[in-house]
Every structure is written in C-alpha cells, then in structure tokens.
Amino acid sequence: MVNELFSDSELEEIGDKVLAGERLTREDGIKLMKSNDLLTIGYLADYRRQEKCGDEVYYIKNRHINHTNVCEVQCRFCAFGREEDEDGAYTMELNEIAEAIDKSPDGISELHIVGGCHHDLSLEYFEEMLRLAKDKLPEVYIQAFTVVEIAHLADKSGLTVKETLKRLKQAGLDSIPGGGAEVFSPRVREKVCKDKVSGERWLSVMETAHNLGIKTNATMLYGHVETPEERIDHLIKLRELQDKTEGFLTFIPLAFHPENTELNYLSATTGYDDLKVLAIARLMLDNFAHIKAFWIMLGTKLAQISLSFGVDDLDGTVVEEKITHDAGAQTKQGLTEAEIVNMIKEAGRIPVERDTVYNRVGDVK
Ligand code: V47
C-alpha cells in the first residue's frame, strides 16, 4: 500500500477500505469531506472508477429544453424561476416546443426537458408535449421533469404520484433527471428552498418511479450553506435508496452558481471543492455505476480533469441551457461531439457514446 504517500494520515484507514472494496461509513465520508488531501481523495476515487468502469468514458448527444421559467416555488439559490408577470418570464406553447425539437442536431439520443412549477400547466399539456416529442423523434429517449415538477403536477391534478407517473410514462416519459434534490437536510431546505418538496418526498417520488420501471438520475446542489456532514448524509440517503431499488443511473453533483440569486453574497464553488465532491461521490456511492460531470457547471477544463477524480461520464452536447447561465455560468451553450470526444481522448481514455439508459450507441470513436 502506498499509504506513506498520503499527506493526510487520517485517510490511511479509508484508503485500505477502498482497496479492499469495503463500504465507507458516514464517519469516513465526513473525514474525506473535511480533508484537504485532494490528491489522495482523487487517487482513491480514480482507483474505484478504474475498477468499476475501466478506461471507458460515456458521453451523450442530447438537447436540453426548458419549457417555462415560471415557478411557484421560489428557491433562494435559483436565478431561473420567475413570477408570471415578471420581466423575462416565459412559457413555451406546444408548437414552440415542437419547433425547438425540430431544431435538434441530427443524431441526438436524448431530450432533456425541465422547467419551473407553473401554476397553470395541466397534466394534459405535459402528456401532449411527450407525445409530440415521441412523434417527432421516436428513437430518442425523453428524460424529463424533475421530482419537484412531478410532485407539483400530482398535487395540482388531485392524483397520486404513482398515477401521475403512469400517465406520463404512457405518454412517452422514459426517464427522470436528477434535479430538485438540492441537499436533503431540513435545515438547509429551510434556509434555501423552504417551499420545495422535502428530501423525504423527493426520495419517495424517486422510489415510486423506480418501482414503475422508470430509471432516474440523482443530484446534489452543493457549495451554498450546507455542512460537510449534510453533504455526506445526502449521499448516504441516495445510497440507501439505491440499495433498495437499483433505479438510479448516475449521480451528478451540481456546483452552485450565485449570480442573480438571493444568495449572491456567497462565493462560487472552487475547483478544489468541485473535484473533491465528485471524487467523494464516487467513493461513497459504491452502488452507483456512474458519476457524471456536467461541464456546463464545471467548465470544460475542470470537467476533463475530473476524469481523473472518479468521473466516468460527461454530459453532453446540451445545445441550449438556461438554469446555470441565468446564474452567471460563462460556459458555452453546447459542445460538438468532436469536442467531447477530444476531451476524453486527451485524458487518455476511451470515449463511448451512450443513450439515456447507458446502452452503447454507434462505434467507439
Ligand atoms: O434542480 C438551480 C440546480 C437543477 C442553480 O439529471 C442550480 O442528468 C447551480 O437537475 N446553480 C436543474 N445549480 C438541473 C439539473 C440537471 C442538470 C444536468 C443534468 C441533470 C441530469 C440534471 O439545477 C435544479 C437545481 O438543483 N440549480 N439553480 C444555481 N444557481
């Protein structure tokens, strides 16, 4: 063992557990989160990644659509949500969504559709949206609507979450993205998103989806008011649900962007913390197959470096993104496939195009 190379000797026991393939405890996670020995944490995460995923790095050709920014749940970390009569508020008509779908680049395998919790959009609007998307692009997976939107829609329609999900699935919903999880801690939610569904409800909606055969993603919005303990508790709650359902496809840490939000007095996340969270996610989430870097939030250079810190999945071509850019992101709106492939190859790894549920698409580039 190369423990003598660790600059933080507290991590030695954790290193031994990682090499032995043992599950890390809450205390281990907190120790990692409080450590500044980034290279050791990265080395351990890279070891786990290599063992689990080998040298292949997945990427996806997708297109994001944000159908509305009108939102009843006004979160303090969000620069995207608006009141209906506020400047810049918009809601796309179904024909505008159809036009956006028509403008998708050739060969995408996923439409990623999320928006605000609009008080007036009915279940029928969402069913129609899914049908028209499937009609236009029958081969494409539709990964749509955060848990928060689904819970809001169920409550508004007077249906259970299960009934709502069944209707959406019937209309063409293939998978649910990981948004809305934020940090599960009630203390954090009270401070940054007090009107949002609780962490318990987020997990319960995901469990219902998994039981209906709908695979989903999971996220954590980090870098605002949460403590290291609250980050680890969040990861452990995800790990527990994954033990039960095996319904999560990937975990995506979302780096908080403060501009134009009520939390704009906070600093943006640092590269150091970004890499640490990705690496610790790989180490704690031993039952997740994939850890995904969302380059829109990380920047392309850090996203590429994260491939040596536990990440095996890069999202994606995207095309158009509003949530992070409204909050000050300086990244581009999209990348070409060639740019993503180049990032992966330059890191000495093998790019593999995937669809939403991690089937391989096409030949290795
Ligand atoms: O739910 C909101 C977060 C999420 C900010 O599942 C912010 O593959 C940073 O969930 N700074 C929406 N983040 C985006 C999302 C997502 C993105 C990419 C891939 C996937 C996936 C999911 O963005 C929200 C919230 O957690 N968010 N405001 C902000 N200021």
Within a domain: 31: no
Residue 34 lies in a domain: no
What average pLDDT does the structure give for the chain? 96
Question: Residue 3's pLDDT is what?
Answer: 64
Residue 112, strand partner residues: 64, 143
Residue 2 pLDDT? 56
Do residues 275 and 36 touch, judged by C-beta distance below 8 A?
A: no
Percent over 90 (pLDDT), the chain? 95
Place of tokens 């919790």: 117
Over residues 297-309, the mean pLDDT reads 98
* Structural domains counted in the chain: 1
* 75 is known to lie in a ligand binding site: yes
Domain-embedded: residue 342: yes
Which positions ≥6 away from 136 have C-beta within 8 Å? 98, 101, 102
Mean per-residue pLDDT for 316-323? 94
Residue nearest to atom 10 of ligand 1 (CA): 179
Cα→Cα distances 79→73, 74, 188, 324, Å: 12, 9, 18, 8
% the chain with pLDDT above 70: 99
pLDDT tens for each residue of 246-282: 999 999 999 999 999 999 999 999 999 999 999 999 9
The identity of residue 220, as a single letter, is M
Looking at the predicted structure, is the pLDDT value of residue 210 above 70? yes
CATH for 148: 3.20.20.70
Residue 8 domain-assigned (yes or no) = no
Q: What is the pLDDT of residue 4?
A: 67
- Beta bridge partners of residue 124, listed in sequence order: none
Surface-to-core class of residue 118, CB atoms within 10 Å of its CB (0-12 exposed, 13-18 middle, 19+ buried): buried
On the question of pLDDT at 41 being above 70, the answer is: yes
Residue 36, in any domain of the structure: no
Q: How far is the CA of 54 from the centre of ligand 1 (A)?
A: 28
* Residues near ligand 1 (Cβ within 6 A): 77-79, 114, 146, 177-180, 182, 217, 219, 221, 252, 254, 256-257, 261, 294, 297, 315, 323-324, 327
Gap from CA of 16 to ligand 1 centroid (Å): 34
C-alpha 263/C-alpha 248 separation (Å) is 30
In a domain, 9, yes or no: no
CA 219 – ligand 1 centroid, Å: 8
Neighbours of 361 (CB within 10 A): 15
**Looking at residues 8-36, what average pLDDT do you find?**
95
The model's pLDDT over 99-150, given as tens digits with 9 standing for 90+, comes to: 999 999 899 999 999 999 999 999 999 999 999 999 999 999 999 999 999 9
Q: Domain limits at 340?
A: 56-353
333: CA distance to ligand 1 center in Å?
15
361 is a domain residue? no
CA distance 76 to 73: 10
Which of 117, 249, 254 most suits a substitution to test ligand 1, by most atoms within 8 Å of the C-beta? 254
For residue 301, the Cα-to-chain-centroid distance in whole angstroms is 19
pLDDT, position 155 = 97
Q: Is residue 35 part of a domain?
A: no
